[in-house]
Amino acid sequence: MNKKVAFYTLGCKLNFSETSTIARSFINEGFDRVDFSEKADIYVINTCSVTENADKRFKTIVKQAQKANNEAFIAAVGCYAQLKPEALADVNGVDLVLGATEKFKITDYLNDLTKNDFGEVHSCEIEDADFYVGSYSIGDRTRAFLKVQDGCDYKCTYCTIPLARGISRSDTMENVLNNAREISAQNIKEIVLTGVNIGDYGKGEFGNKKHEHTFLDLVTELDKVEGIERLRISSIEPNLLKNKTIDLVSKSRAFVPHFHVPLQSGSNEVLKKMKRRYMKELYIDRVAKIKEVMPHACIGVDVIVGFPGETDEHFLETYNFLNGLDISYLHVFTYSERDNTEAAEMDGVVPNNVRSKRSKMLRGLSVKKRRAFYEGQIGSKRTVLFESENKEGFIHGFTENYVKVKTPWNPELVNTLHEVELTKIDKDGIVRFEFINALFVDK
């Protein structure tokens, strides 16, 4: 009987792509992968350090693994494992903690799956995390996350990612294109490009500061890879999203009109304290450029509330700024103090109840923005990629510009693309449609 391994991923798309790569290394060593809720010999938890909540959830997930098999070997990898290895090793039941450079070599540390009395830690100085390991995720049959870049050279005052992942470095162009071909050969219709700071692509592609390629070069070449129906850019910094990239997407064969562009604050004063590399005027310019060449484009925005020194006036400035922008939805993060960041030492701490109130207001604005965006799409003809899950008798999918749609469950639709006309918004906020081709009829 082969030994069984199960995985749990906290955090971002990048973590999912890396978990998938680590899982393939286990399968190559003869392990069988099972669901995290099932009994396994080893449980691997890929951790995140972006929010306080992700830290707290780690202990709950360890207990879940112990409930499934109290004698299983439990390993923690990822960002939090790099930042706070001893804290994770102290959690009851954890046997192994691997930092940023060790996680991809996890199978080398598993000669013996005997439970340890204390968690064993292998983590490097983050300066040693200067080499690149490529990865991509395959699990959801309709899309894959393709990692193109890792690490970050920015010094945002609230962020621990440079401490957890090291300097900015990139995959080689050849590797990225080969990975994209491998993915498309498995009948996956959509690839989402992911990384820590993907607009910085090219930096460190030869293992040093030299680089030949840029993000524009990357998207230009990926657009030529045959067999990929859709390419989606995950999150890209406004200062690195250039006009030429926006123009390329607007004329592209495969890149879809969907951008996720972090803002973090609509107040220039707060942006300066955060050490962001732009002012809000640049952000206005990026949104205007996208909408000029792709009026139907979907634009998502990251925003942080409750940053130290954010007054009621600063928050209202952010709220009004976002309210007036032609954007489609928000990802709202409530600021939480992180050790070893500049912001954690700043004056003007915002009380937690105020942070919660501001977060709630922006989440409400996000609902309003998404609704307005969807309403503007009614009557338009779009292409939908259908997903694989039966949700209460419906199959869901997304248009190229990220409108969520649904129709009665039909397994033949899974992982297929169809031309549709968007007709109305259902009471749950999801859009209904009619098929333009006559193969399927929406009841």
Per-residue pLDDT of the chain (443 residues; tens, 9 = 90+): 789 999 999 888 888 889 998 998 999 999 999 999 999 999 999 998 766 666 678 899 999 999 999 999 999 998 888 888 888 998 999 999 998 878 888 988 876 666 666 678 876 566 666 666 667 777 656 789 899 999 999 999 999 888 888 889 999 999 999 999 999 998 899 999 999 999 999 987 666 666 789 999 999 999 999 889 999 998 999 999 999 999 999 999 999 999 999 999 999 999 999 999 999 999 999 999 999 999 999 999 999 999 999 999 999 999 999 999 999 999 999 999 988 999 999 999 999 999 999 999 999 999 999 999 999 999 999 999 999 889 999 999 999 999 999 999 999 999 999 999 999 999 999 999 999 975 554 44
pLDDT tens sequence across 287-345: 999 999 999 999 999 999 999 999 999 999 999 999 999 999 999 999 999 889 999 99
Residue with tokens 């030869």: 206
Contact 397, 442 (CB under 8 A): no
Q: What is the pLDDT of residues 124-143, one digit of tens each?
A: 566 666 666 667 777 656 78
User: What six digits make up the tokens of 84?
Assistant: 């706070």
Question: 0.75 exceeded by the pTM?
Answer: yes
* Cβ contact 433:405 at 8 Å: yes
Rounded CA-CA distance 325/114 in Å is: 56
The token duo for 105 is 């070599």
